[in-house]
Amino acid sequence: MPVETEIIPFLQWLPGAVLYWLLAVVILTVAASLLGLLVAAVEYGPWAAVGKTWRVVTAGVADVVRISPRRVWALTRLAVKESVRRRVVVVFAVFILVLAFAGLFLDPGNPNPARLYLSFVLTATSYLVLLLALFLSAFSLPTDIRTRTLHTVVTKPVRPSEVVLGRMLGFTIIGTGLLLIMALVSYGFVVQGLGHTHTLTAEDLRSVGQAEGSQPRFQIGKTSQDRRHRHQVMIEASGQGRTDVDQGHWHESSVTGSGTDVRYKVGPPKDMLVARVPVYGSLRFRDPEGIDRPEGINVGDEWSYRGFIQGGSPAALIWSFQDVDERTFPEGLPVEMTIGVFRTHKGVIERGILGSVSLRNPRTGLTVELEVFESKEFATKELTIPRKITKFVASPQVVPRKEETPEGVKFTPQQADLDLSLAERREFDLFEDLVDDGRLEVWVRCLEPGQYFGAAQADLYLRAADAPFVLNFVKGYFGIWLQMVLVIGFGVMFSTFLSGSVAMIATLGALVGGFFSQFMTELARGQVHGGGPLEAATRLVMQENLMSELESGVWTTIMQMADTVLKGGLWVISSILPAFGRFSYTEYVAYGFDISRELLLMRSVNAVAFLLPVFVAAYFFLKIREVAR
């Protein structure tokens, strides 16, 4: 799974994020207060305005602090009842309808159907739930105001903060209930949709190798074709075997009985629905001169996610891991990697490019080459490094790390400190000899000259464990839940001062803007080709491509100056809108990676950080409305 932005540990992320949030809140508060002051000044004069503004702010703080949970709960129940009256169940019916027809356009011949099915259910659920949240939240208060139902509420001793919170909670409860049911149905749909087996008959198998007693050593063959794929199967003399990996899964297979009573069995798919818990390291590249670089070679890919190294040279892909200990990996190191290949000549077509995996102690430089492997692009190679290492493909070496510094090439450890005797041993202990204070390096080299290996940081990891898939699936839905709560927050906020349809459009705008906030930020920072909004529009009309220079002149200058202002606006908008896309964990679930606690915490804090100001803003908007007074 491509992880394009590194996930920072929660505690490392928190201080910076809180600071940024506080800064934004202060700026917004000051801006809102100044605006209120200005409006009041125009209406009541400057001195009176200060007093009024002060009163509104203090009353607001009191309103927020003195919220009564009992009244909030009553209003929450009201919102729930109202939602049920407005037939939210329709959304569920649409969902079921979508699932019923999904089988028609979900291709079972896809290279990875699990990924496809999971992406589909999570995306479909998120679209439907977000739409529901949008409609419920945006139309509720305006409808109550229009039908004057709200008047019966505000005549009671309720605070506007309680009205807002009650709505938000009520819609959240309804959405949560619906989301839970959808998650259950989706899970059933995925499991049912992906579950399959194959048949195997005597005609499909042939014997290979004759062991003693004229028993075949293996039987190999092909299973039947089901769900537009089939597997190669290998059954050992014991009668137990397994298939190869195709479409992201494999099956156990067995042969029981003999003679006419022989039975062939292929089990259910394995490793289709998983949640790997990866431990990522940091990646650096060793160039052909043996010097470490932060980036690899670009072999001409448009997407520069992966860096490449040259084969048949000292170049290597080096992952440095921290906190590798016996407690986490008692059985040895389970390494999984997906290595990219770039050939500059045909080489041997019939087989992949040869590469090797080594371990290196970052302190002593002891390097042990453990395995030579054949590359298989876009497939994950699994490798378990045992605790006791007695087999290696080349003599161990002591290799210092070389880095370029302004003072020249720096060696770690220094040449004089190298203990070459370490390499003379023929048996090593993984944790005693190669791991140093939890630190370990995994090196991958390409062994064939003229060929290249490529990787990104997330392409090699230690598979610490497997989390339960169901739990990961639930976490995926938690991401949708966070998105839903945010949409409800924005919807309720807009509905406190806008009419239903306008509030809906505003919330939709926030939603769409939020999904594209990353793009807007890049646009605002000038990281996108084609200039700002006006320049891009001009290029569209003039049919100019993104890269061509615009003719210099007054119009171009004016346009670019106006774009600078517009870009500033875009930056502000992109900064205050939640990046909805980041709350989606679809890729994690679909690619079979556990959603870490860190990520869940980060996004939850993120959501709360947005919801708090949204709630406060909603309260003030409702408070200053006539109906709420």
Footprint of another protein on this chain (CB under 8 A)? 2, 101, 104-107, 110-112, 115-116, 119, 225, 230, 302-303, 305, 341, 343, 346, 349-350, 352-353, 375-378
Structure tokens at 52: 């009024």
AA letter at 486: L
Compute the least distance from the CB of residue 203 to another protein, in Å. Answer: 12
Q: At what angle do helices 113-146 and 89-105 cross, to 10 degrees?
A: 160
354: nearest Cα among 373, 340, 328, 369: 373
Nearest-10 Cα torsion for 594, 598, 599, 600: 90
Cα–Cα distance, 568 to 525 (Å, whole number): 9
Compute the least distance from the CB of residue 625 to another protein, in Å. Answer: 35
For 295, the 3-state DSSP assignment is: coil
| CA distances, 40 to each of 46, 494, 537 (Å) | 8, 22, 40
Q: Which is nearer to another protein, 100 or 180 (CB)?
A: 100
Q: Which is nearer to another protein, 106 or 234 (CB)?
A: 106
| CA distances, 413 to each of 402, 416, 420 (Å) | 9, 8, 12
Compute the least distance from the CB of residue 485 to another protein, in Å. Answer: 27
Q: Which is nearer to another protein, 113 or 142 (CB)?
A: 113
Compute the least distance from the CB of residue 177 to another protein, in Å. Answer: 27
| 305 burial via Cβ count (<10 Å: 0-12, 13-18, 19+) | middle
Cα–Cα distance, 162 to 168 (Å, whole number): 10
Cα–Cα distance, 14 to 1 (Å, whole number): 25
Q: Which is nearer to another protein, 35 or 379 (CB)?
A: 379
Cα–Cα distance, 498 to 504 (Å, whole number): 9
Q: Which is nearer to another protein, 16 or 111 (CB)?
A: 111
CB 604 within 8 A of CB 475: no
Compute the least distance from the CB of residue 350 to another protein, in Å. Answer: 7
Q: Which is nearer to another protein, 210 or 225 (CB)?
A: 225
Location of structure tokens 């419920």: 136
CB 67 within 8 A of CB 161: yes
Compute the least distance from the CB of residue 346 to another protein, in Å. Answer: 6
Q: Which is nearer to another protein, 327 or 346 (CB)?
A: 346
Compute the least distance from the CB of residue 265 to another protein, in Å. Answer: 22
626: nearest Cα among 167, 151, 156, 164: 151
CB 71 within 8 A of CB 170: no
Compute the least distance from the CB of residue 48 to another protein, in Å. Answer: 51
Compute the least distance from the CB of residue 291 to another protein, in Å. Answer: 27
CB 405 within 8 A of CB 483: no
Q: Which is nearer to another protein, 2 or 9 (CB)?
A: 2
Q: Which is nearer to another protein, 170 or 355 (CB)?
A: 355
Q: Which is nearer to another protein, 343 or 410 (CB)?
A: 343
Which residues are within 8 A (CB) of 210 and not within 5 positions of it... i.e. 6 or more apart?
A: 216, 217
Tell me 393's DSSP state: S
Q: Which residues make beta-bridge pairs with 474? A: none
For 210, the 3-state DSSP assignment is: strand
Q: How many CB atoms lie within 10 A of CB 208?
A: 12
Compute the least distance from the CB of residue 516 to another protein, in Å. Answer: 13
Q: Which is nearer to another protein, 196 or 402 (CB)?
A: 196
Compute the least distance from the CB of residue 508 to another protein, in Å. Answer: 16
